[in-house]
Structure 1
Amino acid sequence: MEINPQDWCSKEPIHIPGGVQTHGMLIAIDKAGVVQYMSENLSAASGIAAQDILGNTVCQLSAFFGKKEDSNFVLDLIDLATQDDIVKPVNPYPIRINNTAYNLIITPSESLFILDIEPEDSNLFEDPQNLVGASLSQMLADRDLDTILGNTVVQIRKVIGYDRVMIYKFHRDGHGEVVAEDYAMELESWLGLHYPASDIPAQARELYKVNLVRLIADVSTAPAQLLSNTERPLDLTHSSLRAVSPMHIRYLKNMQVASSFSVSIVVDGLLWGLIACHNYSPRFINYRQRETAKLIGQVLSSCVGMRDQEAIQKERIKLQGIIMEVTRSLQHNDRIPALVDDCGQKILQGFRASGFVLFFEGAIYSVGDVPAADQIEQIANQFAVVDDHSYIRSNKSMDDFTNTELNSERFAGVLSCRLTHGIKDCLILFRPEQASTVKWAGDPNKLVSIDEDGQPFISPRNSFDQWVQECSGQAEDWTDVEIEVFVKIRDELNFAIGRKIEELRLLNDKLRDAYAELDSFTYTVSHDLKTPLTAIRAYAELIQRKSTEPMVFDMAEKIRLSAVRLNQMVQTVLEYSKVGQKFVNKQRVDMSLLIAEIKDHLLMGKINDNLNLQVLSTPELEGDPILLFQVFLNVIENAVKYSHKQQVPTVVIEGDSTGQETVYRITDNGVGISEQQRDTIFDLFSRVGDVSEFEGTGVGLATVRKIMIRHGAEITVESKLGSGSTFVLRFPKEIVA
């Protein structure tokens, strides 16, 4: 059976240990003052049997607390500490038991009140309150954080007199490191040693955030069990007497520690670290002395927070310039990917990265050392797995990107930020491996043992000899500021994309209006031109009938033919303008029937009797049957027209349908199209070859392209002068009107 020590330790319910440390006693009462729980050592101290205490009011213990027998002072203290249903006791409350000074500490716990009873007498020879002012001055005498931490351990040790005082800093993965220490001369240094996260599991770290000081006075004493008339365990989260986990007791004993004391360092609501104190003989510190140490811890927490904020602000200012460069690039370039060329090197320098990638619209734009294209796309695909995150952060890619075989030396660190929810477009930074040596206080892997019932259990380390681990495949971690700035770069990019989309939308609206106006103008002008053209033609024919002079007759004939040609051009322009106004009536079209009709039409009027018109597969299309007929008639008719001078004119029509689109290819063996003409072949009035050899107006293919656009389709041409042409018509399966 494989056991993860960190997971195993984190499941231990250390907030309900069922007992208290024996240097004190505990009572838990409800709001009416009825005793619901008590520590077993209370009976021996008070001389009252447990069954006579449980279920009765706490008033019966007034004499034991050195008060009058009929005193209700405990409930009076609670009532005095209650304001708007919020209980804020002013602890401690002095009491005397058998002429010995004790402190009563009241804390609320769910619907109960816990009464911790501790001795006032302490193992400290001097009240630390007399030293705290000078100690704080010494602590904060320098601005450098490492120096402040070093000063703190020296001053804390002076105040509480423990054999060893350390500052233990938590890393992002939960493991800790000794970053400052002061210790008795006969002891060895632990500075720089690392401790696994399972030494202080997650639920213990949460308790350290609630109780800022924690005392274990004597690890060798067994806890006093809690007694109650109910089987429900008592939550001792807020109790200063809470018993210690047996595993932690064994852990301290393995280090030969007899007493421990800790002060939490909490910065912005997070447990930054601990002031951890060890003594090699039992040691008790009373409540007021612990509060003095807590004050020092709170001052240190504020100092650490300020120094961290200064470092963060300095880093933020350094990286802010990159955001400005990105913004400037996006404002001055029409192409979004241009920012990689403009700002790539500065991004690499600012983020201490080795590679930068913009994955945008399926294309990869990069600078520096980056993985292969398929690996980059796999990283982009990770956002489909972590849909609730806008970025992915990793300093050990081989663990976090198991499906992507990244080179762990070159790409150990990855920071990826998604551009928009639901798509793969993203920004990615890479960092190389930063090989390091970590010195652990003993083998960080706790031993799995088997108990007498054959069940596995975790036993703490027996050896704390330095254990060296060579770490590879791991990069320097990304800081919160780097992530914050990287997300801001993403936001600038999204803003620029949104701005360009809006610009395109406005431009499209203007173009749509302009095209509509142009269509209307073209239709009106073309329609109005037909009347004078008809008159010109009629007058030319009249001149021919009236005149007997051959020269006049010929001139009139030229006028008549020009009017006929111009009338044909006007008619085609009218048809072209109507395409933009016509509603696309989408339906399934049987292309075999449509092309057969076109074939019959062309064979009836063929110029070359050797015309070979081949129709192969004809998959059906979805679109307007009238407009599709116009498309295929124009393209096939052109293929026949421009190949009719060949000995055997050949035109092949073939369609192919896939899951995404249907493609028709219409190939001829005609005159072909030059490279220059291919660029303008679909423009209005554009014609191919010698215009004197082939009839036409140059409007047909322009009309075809317009119809294709209305269908969300595309037409292209593949051709070489003198070698025929192939027109490729691509129709998507979902038609866009």
Structure 2
Amino acid sequence: MEINPQEWCSKEPIHIPGGVQPHGMLIAIDKTGVVQYVSENLAVASGIPAHEILGNNVRLLSEFFGKKASSNFVMDLIELASQDEQMRPLNPYAIRMGDTPFNLIITQSDSLYILDIEPEESNLFEDPQNLVGASLSQMLADRDLDTILENTVVQIRKVIGYDRVMIYKFHRDGHGEVVAEDYAMELESWLGLHYPAADIPAQARELYKVNLVRLIADVGSSPAALLSNNDAPLNLTGSSLRAVSPMHIRYLKNMNVASSFSVSIIVDGALWGLIACHNYSPRFINFRQRETAKLIGQVLSSCVGMRDQEAVQKERIKLQGIIMEVTRSLQHNDRIPALVDDCGEEILRGFRASGFVLYFEGGIYSVGNVPTADQIEQIANQFAVVDDHSYIRSNKAMRDFTFTEFDNVSFAGVLSCRLTHGIKDCLILFRPEQASTVKWAGDPTKLISIDEEGQPFISPRNSFDQWVQECSGQAEDWTDVEIEVFVKIRDELNFAIGRKIEELRLLNEKLRDAYAELDSFTYTVSHDLKTPLTAIRAYAELIQRKSTEPTVFDMAEKIRLSAVRLNQMVQTVLEYSKVGQKFVNKQRVDMAVLITEIKDHLLMGRVNDNLNLEVVNTPELEGDPILLFQVFLNVIENAVKYSHKQHVPTVIIEGASTDQETIYRITDNGVGISVQQQDKIFDLFSRVGDVGEFEGTGVGLATVRKIMTRHGAEITVESTLGSGSTFILRFPKEIVA
């Protein structure tokens, strides 16, 4: 059975321990003042049996608290503290039990009020309030954070007199490190030692954010049980007397610690660390003294926050220049990937990275040392798996990217940020391994013991001897500022992509309008030309009929033939313009029927009786049947025309279909097309070869390409001059009109 120590420890219900530390007593009352819980030691001390206290009004204990029997001072205090709908108790409230002074501390727990009763007497001989002013001055005498932390532990130890005072800083994964300490001469230093996250599990760290001070007065004492008339556990989150987890007691005993005291360091709402204090004999400090220590902790929290903010701002300013360079590059380049060439080196320097990748529209653009294309593709694919994340952050790639085999040395750190939700396009940074040595207070892995029945259980470490771990395959972690700036670079990239998409959309609209206007103009001009051309032809024929001069007849014949050719050109231009205006009526087209009709038409009017038209395969297409007939008629007719001078003109029509597209190849053994002419044959009025040898207007293939484009399809040619040509028609399975 595999056990995760941190997960196991985090499940312990430490906020409902069912008891209190025995140096104090506790009562929990409802909003009417009726006692719902009482600590066993209070019943003993008051001489009133617990069953008489429970269910009765708290006034029953007024005389025990040194008040008149009729006093309702507890409820009066609660009412005073709750006047503005938020409870702000005037803690502590002084009471006396006999000749002994106590502090009454009121907190709220769900719908109940908890009364902690603690001794006023303390193990401190001097009130720390007299020292706090000078201590704060000494703490803040330097701007360097490390020096401030060192000053703090010295001053805190002077104030509370514990044997050891440490600043314990939490790392991102929850484990802690001693970053400053002051201790009695006979003790050994713990400075620089790391402690696993299971030592202070997640739910304990959450409680440290609620209770800014925590005292365990005597590790060796047994808790006083809480008594109640119901079985529901009492939430003691806000109680200063909350009993201690048995596991934590065992942990402290294994360290030979008899008393501990901690003050939380909270920065921006997060637990940055603790002022952790150990004493090797029991030690109690009262509420006011703990509040003084809390004040020092709050001042330190503000100081740490300010220094952290200064460091963050300095880092942000350094990286801000990269965003400006990225913005400049994107504004001055039409190609998005040009960003890598323009800013790649600066991004590497700014982020202390060894490699940078832009994965964009299936292309990989990189600078520096990056993994293989397959591994980059696998990182990009992760955004389909972690759909709720816009970035992936890792300083241990071998651990976090189990789907691929990364070079453990070169690519230990990965920071990847996707561009747009739902696609794989992303930015990726890489960092090399930063080998390090971590000194642990004991082996952090040895938290699992075996009971008498051979079952595993979590046990606090017995040994805190220094244990050294050599860390490999780990990069320097990415800072929050680096992630913030990297996301901003992503945002700039997305903005530029959006801007270019909008520019293309506007350009397409203008082109669409221009093409529509051109089509309309072409149609109008072509249509209007037909009338004078008809007249020219008619007059030429009239001259031929009336003239007796051979020279005049020949001249009239040339005029007539020129008018006929010009009329044919006008007609083809009309057909070309109609393609742009015609609605594409898509449907399934039986290509066997369509090509057979074309074949019969061409065989009937063939020039060469040896013409060989072969049809190999005819998969169906989706498109406009009239327009598709025009496409195949033009291409096959061209193949026949340019091969008819061969002894056996041969034209092969062969179709094939895949999951993505249907391809038709129309091959002839004709005159072929030169490389120079291949780039122009689909242009309007462009013709191949000797224009006097082969009839045509140069509009047919331009019309074909226009029809293909309207179907979302593509036409290309492969040819060698003198060896025939092959026209390749590619139709996607999902046709775009």
TM category, shorter: over 0.9
Does residue 536 (structure 1) correspond to residue 506 (structure 2)? The answer is: no
- 2:463 maps to which residue? 463
* TM-superposed deviation, 1:404: 1.5
Q: Which residue of 1 aligns with 2:682?
A: 682
Secondary structure of the residue that 2:473 maps to in structure 1? coil
Which amino acid is the alignment partner of residue 284 of structure 2? F
Gaps of 5+ in 2: none
Q: Distance between the aligned counterparts of 1:173 and 1:686, measured in 2?
A: 70
Q: Map 1:224-303 onto structure 2 (within 5 A).
A: 224-303=224-303
Deviation of 1:81 (Å): 0.4
Q: How does 1:259-658 map to 2 (within 5 A)?
A: 259-452=259-452, 455-658=455-658
CA shift at 1:449, angstroms? 2.4
**1:699-724 deviation line (CA, Å, top 9, x unaligned):** 00100011111111111111222222
What is the rounded CA distance, in whole Å, between the counterparts of 1:122 and 1:718 in structure 2?
98
- Structure 1 CA distance, aligned partners of 2:456 and 2:13? 17
Q: What pairs up with 1:165-184 in 2 under 5 angstroms?
A: 165-184=165-184
Residue identity over aligned pairs, in percent, reads 88
- CA displacement, residues 676-714 of structure 1 (integer Å, 9 cap, x when unaligned): 111111111111111111111010010001111111111
Q: 2:243 is paired with a residue of what secondary structure?
A: coil
String of CA shifts for 1:443-465, please: whole Å, max 9, x gaps.
00243223456653211100000
Taking structure 2 as the reference length, what is the TM-score of the superposition?
0.99
Asked if residue 146 in structure 1 is aligned to residue 160 in structure 2, the reply is: no
Give the letter aligned to residue 618 of structure 1: T
Q: CA offsets, 1:176-234, max 9 Å, x none?
A: 10101111111111110000000000000000000000000000001111100000000
Amino acid at match of 1:54: L
**Deviation of residue 144 (structure 1)?**
0.6
**SS of aligned partner of 1:56:** coil
CA distance in 2, matches of 1:527, 1:30: 97
Corresponding letter in the other structure for 2:353: A
Distance 1:652 1:702 in 2: 22
**Cα distance between partner residues in 2 of 1:209 and 1:559:** 101
Query: What residue is the counterpart of 2:21 in the other structure?
Result: 21
Show CA shifts across 1:532-580 (max 9, x none).
Answer: 0111111111111111111111111111111110000000000000000
1:242 shift after superposition: 0.4
CA–CA separation in structure 2 for the residues paired with 1:599 and 1:511 = 37
Whole-angstrom CA distance in 2 between matches of 1:584 and 1:645 = 37
CA distance in structure 1 between the partners assigned to 2:390 and 2:74 by the alignment: 53
Q: Is the 8 A contact 1:5 1:446 kept in 2?
A: no
What secondary structure does 1:86 align onto?
coil
Which range moves more in the overlay, 724-733 or 258-267?
Answer: 724-733
How far does residue 155 in structure 1 lie from its aligned partner after superposition?
Answer: 0.5
Question: CA offset at residue 84 of structure 1?
Answer: 3.2
Single out whichever of 349-358 and 708-717 deviates more from structure 2.
708-717
1:660 CA drift (Å)? 1.4
Correspondence for 1:200: 200
Q: Aligned partners of 2:581 and 2:536: how far apart in 1?
A: 30
In 1, Cα distance between equivalents of 2:723 and 2:64: 115
Separation (CA, whole Å) in 2 of partners of 1:684 and 1:43: 106
Letter in 2 for 1:334: D
Contact 1:446 1:458 (C-alpha < 8 Å) held by counterparts? no
Give the whole-Å Cα distance in 1 for the aligned partners of 2:723 and 2:376.
43
Inter-partner Cα distance in structure 2 for 1:360 and 1:645: 51
After TM superposition, the structure 1 stretch with the greater mean CA deviation from structure 2, 546-555 or 53-62, is 546-555
DSSP 3-state at the match of 1:289: helix
Deviations 1:404-457 (A, max 9, x none): 111111111000001000000000000001000000000002432234566532
1:120 matched to 2:120? The reply is yes
Alignment partners' CA distance in 1, 2:446 and 2:18:
25
Cα distance, 1:177–1:606 mapped onto 2, change above 3 Å: same
SS for the counterpart of 1:28 is strand
- Three-state SS of the structure 2 residue aligned to 1:616 is strand
Q: Secondary structure at the match of 1:613?
A: strand
Tell me how far apart the structure 1 counterparts of residues 78 and 656 of structure 2 sit (CA, whole Å).
Answer: 86
Q: CA 1:454–1:45 in 2, change beyond 3 Å: closer, same or farther?
A: farther
Work out the CA distance in 2 between the residues paired with 1:400 and 1:38.
Answer: 50
Deviations 1:280-324 (A, max 9, x none): 000001000000000000000001111111010100000000000
For 1:141, what is the secondary structure of its paired residue? coil
725-734 or 443-452, which deviates more: 443-452
Q: Work out whether residues 193 and 439 of structure 1, in 8 Å CA contact, stay in contact via their aligned partners in 2.
A: yes
Alpha-carbon separation, structure 1, partners of 2:447 and 2:138: 42
Offset of 1:518 from its aligned partner?
A: 0.3
Shift in Å at residue 389 of structure 1?
0.8
Counterpart-to-counterpart distance in 2, 1:505 and 1:684: 26
Counterpart CA distance in 2 for 1:203 and 1:546 is 114
| Separation of aligned partners in 2, 1:489 and 1:50 | 66
1:76-95 matched pairs, under 5 angstroms: 76-95=76-95
Give TM-score, length-normalised by structure 1: 0.99
Distance (Å, rounded) in 2 between the aligned partners of 1:198 and 1:669: 80
Equivalent-residue separation in structure 2 for 1:261 and 1:113 (angstroms):
25
Asked whether the 8 Å contact 1:124–1:285 carries over to 2, the reply is yes
Alpha-carbon distance change, 99 to 454 in structure 1, aligned in 2, over 3 angstroms: farther
After the TM superposition, which parts of structure 1 deviate over 4 Å for at least 4 consecutive aligned residues? 452-455
Three-state SS of the structure 2 residue aligned to 1:191 is coil
Amino acid in structure 2 at the alignment position of 1:603? L
Shift of 1:85: 2.4
Q: Secondary structure at the match of 1:629?
A: helix
Could you report, residue by residue, the CA deviation over 1:62-97 in whole angstroms, capped at 9, with x for unpaired residues?
Answer: 111111111000000000100232211010000001
Q: How many residues align?
A: 737
Deviation (angstroms), 1:669: 1.4
- CA distance in 1 between counterparts of 2:410 and 2:717 reads 45
Question: Residue 659 of structure 2 aligns to which amino acid in structure 1?
Answer: G
Report the residue type matching 2:344 in the other structure: G
Q: Secondary structure at the match of 2:406?
A: coil
Whole-angstrom CA distance in 2 between matches of 1:695 and 1:364: 49
Q: Structure 2 CA distance, aligned partners of 1:661 and 1:391?
A: 35
The whole-number CA distance in structure 2 between the counterparts of 1:650 and 1:144 is 89
SS in 1 for 2:614: strand
Q: Which residue is equivalent to 1:706?
A: 706
SS of 1:663's equivalent in the other structure is strand
Describe the SS at the equivalent of 1:83. Answer: coil
Residue in 1 aligned with 2:107? 107
Cα shift at 1:475:
0.4
